């Protein structure tokens, strides 16, 4: 298999040497028959009970695999090692007495690399016991040399580990699938009970689809999704979340959700108590969940200038502050007097403009904070003037920006230039990967034209970045946030 080679790059939605070898074999089978595109394998969703991920919850990941031969087990364990260096707990159920007798030593050799090993009795698969040996033969070879236990299916028990990166691997071709799925389900139930403590009427769900909550309409589910009913419930959620990753979601307008979703708690800021605006002592006080369009409308109605550029930006105040959103030569950071925010330890901070360090499309100070509300400057102008500005800006957007599902500008503008101009100059308008397409109207927009996946978008971002480096010697930096990932690692 190692002699197989390809003459082009392919984007693969999986890792692991065994998967790569299978891909090379598939390419070889159709060589000379069809011309495979670089994204030919992106839609491959995998096979049930083969490297199947049952749960991602923070640092805990649960897999199951049908492997029941030593070489298959080795391939699966190599795949798991390639994915992460987390602690490995293996639960193994041998398949057939005769196979266990034939490969006792080989099973012991391949399993001894586990940090913890739990052995279950052989799954007979219609064989009688006198045709071979049971799992105790494997156990006898390993006891004393590693953390290994031998238990029954009915007595199986394993505590959940959320404090240390841990992969729990259920391996075998028998009814081990039952306890694997129960283990994953019970872990979710345990976490939900923990999250639900003292959160009042907060709506808390499991496996909530995130794609429909974003402007790009792409992505998988949140493990947990909450709509807090008050500030105290929000603080309690942060306390209850413990080791789970937490993400606060506004309008989802500058966000790419991965196909596998988010293995933690997503907290919605689109709740009534955060969608407020008022003028107090000649200062606008605005909640983090208020849409920018509504803030613009509020300011215009009250004769307050400097906010008309926000009309048409499909985001909310909290997200806009974190990325210093802007348009028409202006940015939200220019209007901020102070911001009230929480950290993950539920400490409240009031940060004035000097402490916030706004920069182009970023506010690093707020990267690890949850914005609650902001105090913003008031500059009086006539309502008629402001209405005219809004109409002018909206018409400009209409003329220059595409209609459709997108996350807005894909890349930040490099110093002294425009990302859209560079992408258009490189001839990339209309370029597609799967269902993702570079807009024909504005080259810095990627559109979800045909049920695109996040893999499609990531592949297109990579292609654009690589092309612009080649044509202009400029490394474009993505502006959109890739939930749970760092673009530096992806690109």
How does 66-104 read in b/e, with b if 16+ C-beta sit within 10 Å?
A: bbbbbebbbbbbebbeebeebebbbbbbbbbbebbeebb
Identified catalytic residue from 253, 338, 409, 453: 409
Distance of CA 471 to the CA centre of its chain: 31
Residues 6 or more apart whose Cβ sits within 8 Å of residue 98: 127, 131, 132
pLDDT value of residue 212: 97
Last residue of a domain, one of 188, 210, 235: 188
Candidates 185, 162, 156, 164; CA nearest to 54 is: 185
User: What CATH number does the domain containing 438 carry?
Assistant: 3.90.78.10
Instruction: Supply the pLDDT for residue 131.
Output: 74
C-beta of residue 57 within 8 angstroms of C-beta of residue 29: no
Q: Determine, yes or no, domain membership for 157.
A: yes
Do 64 and 151 lie in a common domain? yes
- Same structural domain, 297 and 248: no
Beta-carbon contacts of residue 478 (< 8 Å; ≥ 6 apart): 410, 411, 412, 461, 487, 491
Q: Are residues 90 and 20 in the same domain?
A: no
Q: How many CB atoms lie within 10 A of CB 252?
A: 27
Q: Specify the 3-state DSSP secondary structure of 12.
A: coil
Per-residue pLDDT tens listing for the chain (491 residues): 445 566 667 766 665 566 677 777 777 787 777 777 776 776 666 676 778 999 999 899 999 999 999 999 999 999 899 888 999 999 999 999 999 999 999 999 999 989 999 999 999 998 888 777 899 999 999 999 999 999 998 899 998 888 899 999 999 999 999 999 999 999 999 999 999 999 999 999 999 999 999 999 999 999 999 999 999 999 999 999 988 999 999 999 999 999 999 999 999 999 999 999 999 999 999 999 999 999 999 999 999 999 999 998 889 999 999 999 998 889 999 999 999 999 988 899 999 999 999 999 999 999 999 999 999 999 999 999 999 999 999 999 888 899 999 999 999 999 999 999 999 999 999 999 999 999 999 999 999 998 999 999 999 999 999 999 999 999 999 999 999 999 999 88
- Domain co-membership, 16 together with 65: no
* Full residue range of the structural domain in which residue 378 is found: 275-384
Q: Which of 134, 130, 131, 140 is nearest to 108 (CA)?
A: 140
| Predicted local distance difference test score (pLDDT) of residue 12 | 66
Per-residue pLDDT, 35: 77
Residue by residue, DSSP assigns 471-488 as HHS----B-SEETT--HH
Catalytic residue among 177, 208, 227, 479: 479
Do residues 114 and 52 share a domain? Answer: yes
CA distance 466 to 473: 9
Q: Name the helix (H) or strand (E) containing 57.
A: strand 52-57
Domain boundary among 268, 295, 324: 268
396 assigned to some structural domain: no
Residue 8 lies in a domain: yes
Do the domain assignments include residue 142? yes
Clarify whether residues 28 and 158 are in a common domain: no
Q: Distance (Å, rounded) from C-alpha 362 to C-alpha 358?
A: 6
Burial class (CB in 10 A: 0-12, 13-18, 19+), 314: middle
Q: Which of 91, 117, 290 is nearest to 172 (CA)?
A: 91
Q: Are residues 209 and 240 in the same domain?
A: yes
Pair 262, 280 in one domain: no
Looking at the structure, tell me whether residues 247 and 346 fall in a common domain.
no
**pLDDT at 239 (0 to 100):** 94
Write down the catalytic residue from 56, 99, 251, 361.
361
CATH at residue 264 = 3.30.43.10
445 lies in some domain: yes
Same structural domain for residues 322 and 438?
no
Classify residue 469: in a domain, yes or no: yes
3-state DSSP of 231-300: HHHHHHHHHHHCCCCEEEECCCCCEECCCCCEEEEEEECCCHHHCCEEEECCEEEEECCCEHHHHHHHHH
Domain boundary among 160, 188, 216: 188
Query: How far apart are the C-alpha atoms of 455 and 406, rounded to whole Å?
Result: 15
In a domain, 194, yes or no: no
Q: Is 361 among the catalytic positions?
A: yes
Q: What is the pLDDT of residue 1?
A: 43
Q: Is 341 among the domain residues?
A: yes
Are 213 and 282 part of one and the same domain?
no
CA atoms within 13 A on the CB side of 92: 33
Pair (262, 327) in one structural domain: no
Residue 29's contacts (CB-CB under 8 Å, 6 or more residues apart) are none
Q: Please state the domain count of the chain.
A: 5
pLDDT at position 192: 96
């Amino acid at each position: 298999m190692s002699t197989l080679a390809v003459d082009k790059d392919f984007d693969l939605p999986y890792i692991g040497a065994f998967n790569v070898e299978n891909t090379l074999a598939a390419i070889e089978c159709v060589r000379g028959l069809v011309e495979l595109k670089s994204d030919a394998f992106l839609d491959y969703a995998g096979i049930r009970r083969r490297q199947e991920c049952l749960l991602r919850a923070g640092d805990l990941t649960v897999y199951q695999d049908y492997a029941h031969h030593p070489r298959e087990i080795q391939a699966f364990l190599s795949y798991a090692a390639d994915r992460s260096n987390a602690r490995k707990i293996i639960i193994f159920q041998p398949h057939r007495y005769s196979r266990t007798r034939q490969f006792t030593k080989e099973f012991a050799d391949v399993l001894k690399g586990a940090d913890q090993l739990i052995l279950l009795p052989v799954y007979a698969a219609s064989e009688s016991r006198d045709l071979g040996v049971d799992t105790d033969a494997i156990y006898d070879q390993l006891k004393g040399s590693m953390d290994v236990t031998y238990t029954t299916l009915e007595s199986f028990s394993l505590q959940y580990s959320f404090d240390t990166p841990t992969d729990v691997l259920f391996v075998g071709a028998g009814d081990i699938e039952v306890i694997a799925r129960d283990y994953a389900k019970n872990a979710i139930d345990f976490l939900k009970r923990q999250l639900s403590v003292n959160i009042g009427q907060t709506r808390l769900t499991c496996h909530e689809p995130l794609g429909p909550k974003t402007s790009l309409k792409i992505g998988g589910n949140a493990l947990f999704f909450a709509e807090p009913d008050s500030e105290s419930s929000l603080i309690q959620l942060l306390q209850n979340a413990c080791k789970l990753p937490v993400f606060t979601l506004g309008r989802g307008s500058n966000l790419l959700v991965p196909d596998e979703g988010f293995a933690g708690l997503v907290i919605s800021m689109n709740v009534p108590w955060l969608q407020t605006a008022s003028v107090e002592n000649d200062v606008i006080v605005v909640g983090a969940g208020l849409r920018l369009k509504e803030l613009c409308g509020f300011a215009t109605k009250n004769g307050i200038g400097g906010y008309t550029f926000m009309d048409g930006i499909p985001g909310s105040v909290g997200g806009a502050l974190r990325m210093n959103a802007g348009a028409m030569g202006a940015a939200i950071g220019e209007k901020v007097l102070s911001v009230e925010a929480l950290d993950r330890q539920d400490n409240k901070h009031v940060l004035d403009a000097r402490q916030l360090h706004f920069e182009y499309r970023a506010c690093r100070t707020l990267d690890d904070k949850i914005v609650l509300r902001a105090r913003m400057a008031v500059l009086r102008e006539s309502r008629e003037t402001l209405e005219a500005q809004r109409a002018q800006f909206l018409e400009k957007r209409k003329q220059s920006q595409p209609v459709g599902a997108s996350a807005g500008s894909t890349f930040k503008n490099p110093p002294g230039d425009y990302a859209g101009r560079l992408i258009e100059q490189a001839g990339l308008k209309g370029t597609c990967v799967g269902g993702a397409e570079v807009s024909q109207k504005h080259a810095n927009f990627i559109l979800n034209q045909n049920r695109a996946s996040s893999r499609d978008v990531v592949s297109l971002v990579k292609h654009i970045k690589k092309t612009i480096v080649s044509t202009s010697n400029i490394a474009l930096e993505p502006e959109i946030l890739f939930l749970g990932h760092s673009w530096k690692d992806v690109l």
